[in-house]
Amino acid sequence: MKKEQFEPFLLAHEKRIYHYLLTLVGNDSDANDLVQMVFISFYEHIDRVEEATALSYVYRIAYNKSMTFLKQKSRYVNLEPQSFDNIPDQPKTDPPPDYTALREAIRELPPRLASVIHLQYYENLSYRDMSENLGISVKAVESLLVRAKKQLRRKLLKDNPQGRV
């Protein structure tokens, strides 16, 4: 890929990568910082990347950077009250279903399981695309999805014994 193609590529995929990272790290400011780190790293190696695999390459960088970040962050206890400022207000008429418990359960999943849930349900990627983005086999993606769904189901049913998920 050529350096001249970087800016259009960035503009086309920045939001997707941001939402992917937000799912993994669960914090707006951390996700923004990681997006910058991901695209800087991508730009540094852009000459070695083929255009056809550039998006997969960026997803792989994003995953690796977020895992490194989470390992480093796990050494510290840090709650930021400002993170609650970004929660949008719910409309007064006919409110949409409350997915708070589901979002919270996804955030509590191990990062690897949360990433496959995000890629399948938020990015609508196929198993094959997910395997390319994560650098694992299709069977591994299937296995991770099964484990992620079981853990989510267990967590949601534990929090809501009536079975209404």
* Residue ranges per structural domain of the chain: 1-87, 99-165
Looking at residue 96, its pLDDT comes to: 74
The answer as to CATH 3.40.50.720 being correct for domain 99-165 is no
Looking at residue 158, its pLDDT comes to: 82
Looking at residue 107, its pLDDT comes to: 87
pLDDT one digit per residue (tens) for the chain, 165 residues: 888 999 999 999 999 999 999 999 988 999 999 999 999 999 999 999 999 999 999 999 999 999 999 888 776 655 566 665 666 666 556 677 788 888 888 888 898 898 999 899 888 889 999 998 888 999 999 999 999 999 999 888 887 666 554
Looking at residue 100, its pLDDT comes to: 83
Looking at residue 82, its pLDDT comes to: 67
Looking at residue 11, its pLDDT comes to: 93
Looking at residue 12, its pLDDT comes to: 93
The answer as to CATH 1.10.1740.10 being correct for domain 1-87 is yes
Looking at residue 157, its pLDDT comes to: 86
- In eight-state DSSP terms, residue 52 is G
Looking at residue 156, its pLDDT comes to: 86
Of 48, 73, 78, 77, the closest CA to residue 61 belongs to 48
What span, in angstroms and rounded, lies between the C-alpha atoms of 136 and 130? 8
Q: Is residue 128 within 8 Å of residue 110, measured between CB atoms?
A: no
Q: Is residue 61 within 8 Å of residue 8, measured between CB atoms?
A: no
What span, in angstroms and rounded, lies between the C-alpha atoms of 116 and 122? 10
Instruction: Specify the long-range contacts of residues 119-127, CB closer than 8 Å, at least 24 apart.
Output: 119/20, 120/145, 122/19, 122/20, 122/23, 123/16, 123/19, 123/20
Looking at residue 123, its pLDDT comes to: 87
